[in-house]
Structure 1
């Protein structure tokens, strides 16, 4: 009876007016806290890929989209008619529509934008109903309520336009189509007396700005593409003219000029890359000038590989902002919003001062704790949070400000984005996590997870498969970047599957058998196992060939185990091959408790006749033969050369969605290589002698494919 009475008493107090007031106060403050977390986590998730962090961001985003509407519903359904509670409702409404840093959690949410916008419109109507039925005559509160409500309407309209621009069924498709049509004839726009120069971008009329103006035009015959030549009064700004304008600005230092040119180039390349998300044909693929752009432009004659990689990093940062936040090419640098936020700041400050004044309108529903009016202080806290977040600088550094100024060719002054461009250069390495995922099969194939969290979360957390234990991430170094890109430049842009690296080291005849395996996944795992055996017993130094080979080998194995969709072939097939190899290892290496004993047993396996060898057996054979490569420095060099060449060979892919998805999870090194090869006109890997490729290499001639 005691428990029943206590339960009844609690239920009655919880459903009472005071109980509902407590619930509303807690939910309002919690919603404001969630808003703060969304603002700070949105731009940081592209620098973190830890599973717990991603789950936390997902939980915060989900609560953010649920708590606000629920609390507004409580206010509308209860006896909360005082201006104070109506002000709370308008703040909650503003919170729902004003978080710029995390517009959607995944790219799949973008196509659900209509559902999201309908919810916002219903909330706007509910809050308007509250405003119409509010009680109180605090002039400061009245002004603030109406300004917040009007701001929410405007931001909802803005959000609708931006999400439509990102949607494949809306603006993304339309604007990318313009770029795709233009790039089909871009090489024909170059005057005959102009020789394309990738170092100065002369002869490279890639679109920088203006495609929005012609997106609504109908295509013209006979190709039925947008007729740029026939459009009068419309001219797209191109990257070559932007570079010339930047170089003409005397206020900029030499370093600032180079950084501004890189930002502009990254923005132009970002527009070209969006075509792959829509599946449009890449018209410049196969042109000599396209390959030269990467080999002699991004990667200069001096071998500035790190600079080339930084340009790609900034480009992908633009793509992340475009997909996952509300910063896009339409709203960028829109100074009207800054004026608007200034008005809001003044209004909020006026409201706070009004709440402290002796004319403050007391709510009929008062709740006091130790003599303090809780309702009053909740209002102060909410208004302070709105004021603080309105005054905080945005989280996108100066890139978008610079792009806006370049759009309008606005003359730079000491207060503009271009004049403060040094911050972009300093933050370039902070755009992404810059880390390699690592996985090593031989130490971790016997890993078993109980998967308690996936069970408790009803599948919200993905289950860990057998043997799927990620190693500690390795930071991406300039040494790895230079090793991969230098090989690409030396091969004159020809992708090689590792055989060229073996030939340069006079070892192709000995290891050619390990390059003619049934699939690329076979090859990755066989060479990964062989590399692990060859390195067993040798500590890995912090730099050098040994470190490069170990890092890239474990990264490719990590992609097989955790991101199979980034590799050749069907992702599910790759997953099943990995699972089968894990089970084979558990059966074949029973009783081997150390990595060294596992290596020795693999090398001692007797290979069956014919072509029925398993991946483990082939890896054991390769490891034993690699151990015969002496001296050790030569062994590490051939392995580093092989993996640097092979990972670039694996990078081309038509699955753009997986790369876009991983942008919101810290980014992948493979995505950066994929983007770089796209701009070189290399869309698919060339055919190889092992029969696993297709005749998909981009031919080196002067007509688009």
Structure 2
């Protein structure tokens, strides 16, 4: 009897729950509820577009997983949000004359922001999918326009705005195609052909040299900055189809090599410019303005690798001379080299993940400004019309949302969405005008227009724009300590069979230490090692031989590079706790010892961080590297229970500590370790794995991506010729 009563009670509770759920569903199925849902989705679209615009380019300046996840979510939700919301509008059982306005705004979101055209390299290869989504969305928009067609001023403004928005959508489609494999093959072909024989061009005296008593350090470097775009092989997105076909036939049948005309600006021309703005004794004493053009030229050389083109050995040797006798010729050569490389990679980032290469295509920038003005006029017209109807108390439709005080929520959502859009457009215009692409365009135009030389107003304006800059990348080093993090165990809710389907779960021992600032002594050590050993890169053997450490070479020949890294990492950790920096030596010697200590410990933990978190950047097979890391974690946990460390690291640490008691032994230990760790930094990241490095650019990049790789891949790697 008691069980029967319990069953009846359970059935009663279920019936009440179902009744309440049914009543709730009926409430949510009303026209006003559906309208509220649509307005909420439109507002969400405005919020997501704001995130992409404001933080789109910031992801390369901040290596933060939360920021990357937020941007990924905003980018991924866009297509589903647009399709679903427009579907609700077309299938609704009621009318609202603001539906076409909201649909156009969603199409604006579909075009994305100028600073965020793609999240990953794979998105660029899916440019056809984007085109099909755009086509399907247009069908839905056409349906709405037919249903709501009327002679009202607002409808006219919607159609006007829709026609302008098509240009924004086409910008993103063109950006995706240009950054795809096929697009890069087409757009880099002309530069590839030119650079394959550039080293054979005659090195004639430059009649434009501003000071005949000074030698142009870039004389003979006819590396193209801008001017070749109109002669590129293949499609041109801004010509009619017939012109494209005719131009392609002419190029394929009787294509002529690129000639350095007055319209083509080269690095040599930039350095030979007579204008005071670019003079080394005038407005560019630190060389930063000319280096902007140099970075853009080197970016074009780096993009050849992504187009599948290579250069002859002679071209690589010439670029290595540019490093040694150009970038590193002065006292500030170290900072200058890294500044040029970082800016070069920022251009590469923009190529893959923004609309800037399309916006700054010849003639395109003026068109961009025209579209901006038309969008502003159209948006303001619609906002004015909405407020006019509101204050005249003329309802836009029977079904609408309003507050008890009479505030029309429909008009509020429309106004807020369009105001947000206008603010973002103004922000994007500002970002465009101060971008590095704008700086290159202005500087090259200054070189070309001799009438600008001596014009103080123009020179001050260009100088003011080009001097404004932010650090293009976050200058930090990731850190990982095996001895501190080996006991880390991720929480169950982050690492289980269910979450593994959606995210990469953290592994045992995979706990990152706090990142540190990238110091100048670390950069100098890596660059010195790179220049010294660029012809034959090794994983530390050269430095050990130079420091009479032949007895330590066994630790460089372990089964995988991951094991080599962790063996030396453990040994360095032992020395960090056992070997103090001597203070009884001279001031200069102590400074050198402290620098070596910083180099050794920072790079030791950074390479261990790469092995733990970014195994794809190591020469080992990624899965082998992961397996090696997992095994090292298990071995460390087992061995440390008895007060010991991993045998290989312990043996190496013991051998390194042997000269500790000798005179100058502590200094020698840190010199050996500093020289050793600088060499693997120039070795571990293979420059031929261009895709992995480009993928890391979207996440803020790594020091190994921003330092060694572009120097080897762009400025020349004779070992790979």
Task: Give the TM-score category using the shorter length.
Answer: 0.7 to 0.9
1:145-192 per-position Cα deviation (integer Å, ceiling 9, x unaligned): 1232012212222222221111102x2111223222222111112347
Distance in 2 between the 1:113 and 1:246 partners? 44
- In the other structure, the counterpart of 1:142 is 155
- In the other structure, the counterpart of 2:387 is 356
- In the other structure, the counterpart of 1:656 is 690
- In the other structure, the counterpart of 2:414 is 379
1:604-632 per-position Cα deviation (integer Å, ceiling 9, x unaligned): xxxxxxxxxxxx32211111122223342
The 10-residue stretch of structure 1 (160-169 or 517-526) with the greater mean CA deviation from structure 2: 517-526
Corresponding position: 1:151 with 2:181: no
Distance in 1 between the 2:529 and 2:225 partners? 30
Distance in 2 between the 1:381 and 1:656 partners? 43
- In the other structure, the counterpart of 1:570 is 621
Residues 562 and 625 of structure 2 are in contact (CA less than 8 Å); yes or no, is this contact kept in structure 1? yes
1:547-562 alignment, distance < 5 Å: 547-562=598-613
- In the other structure, the counterpart of 2:10 is none
Distance in 1 between the 2:145 and 2:459 partners? 40
Runs of at least 5 residues in structure 2 that lack an aligned partner in the other structure? 1-14, 207-213, 235-246, 582-590
Residues 161 and 378 of structure 2 are in contact (CA less than 8 Å); yes or no, is this contact kept in structure 1? no
SS of 2:501's equivalent in the other structure is coil
Corresponding position: 1:288 with 2:317: yes
- In the other structure, the counterpart of 2:3 is none
1:561 positional shift:
1.5
- In the other structure, the counterpart of 1:692 is none
Q: 1:667 to 1:421 in 2, by over 3 A?
A: farther
1:246-645 alignment, distance < 5 Å: 247=275, 249=277, 253-255=282-284, 258-284=287-313, 287-302=316-331, 304-328=333-357, 331-332=360-361, 334-357=365-388, 358-359=391-392, 362-364=395-397, 365-371=399-405, 372-392=407-427, 393-395=429-431, 397-406=434-443, 408=445, 409=448, 419-421=461-463, 427-428=469-470, 430-453=471-494, 455=496, 456-457=498-499, 459-489=501-531, 495=537, 497-505=539-547, 507-537=548-578, 544-592=595-643, 601-602=644-645, 616-630=646-660, 631-645=665-679
Q: 1:86 to 1:229 in 2, by over 3 A?
A: closer
SS of 1:431's equivalent in the other structure is coil
Corresponding position: 1:668 with 2:702: yes
1:521 positional shift:
3.0
The 10-residue stretch of structure 1 (398-407 or 309-318) with the greater mean CA deviation from structure 2: 398-407
Give the structure-1-normalised TM-score: 0.85
Residues 43 and 395 of structure 1 are in contact (CA less than 8 Å); yes or no, is this contact kept in structure 2? no
- In the other structure, the counterpart of 2:194 is 182
1:83 positional shift:
3.1
2:178 pairs, out of 157, 160, 165, with 165
SS of 1:544's equivalent in the other structure is helix
Q: Name whichever structure is richer in helix by fraction.
A: 2
RMSD after superposition: 3.2
Corresponding position: 1:203 with 2:220: yes
1:276-315 per-position Cα deviation (integer Å, ceiling 9, x unaligned): 2233223356643221111121222435101110111001
The 10-residue stretch of structure 1 (524-533 or 549-558) with the greater mean CA deviation from structure 2: 524-533
Q: 1:37 to 1:368 in 2, by over 3 A?
A: same
Distance in 2 between the 1:415 and 1:115 partners? 48
1:644 positional shift:
1.5
Distance in 2 between the 1:154 and 1:42 partners? 20
Distance in 2 between the 1:250 and 1:546 partners? 40
Residues 488 and 494 of structure 1 are in contact (CA less than 8 Å); yes or no, is this contact kept in structure 2? no
1:392-441 per-position Cα deviation (integer Å, ceiling 9, x unaligned): 2444643111222345535667787983455655534x211211111122
Q: 1:346 to 1:519 in 2, by over 3 A?
A: same
Distance in 2 between the 1:414 and 1:75 partners? 56
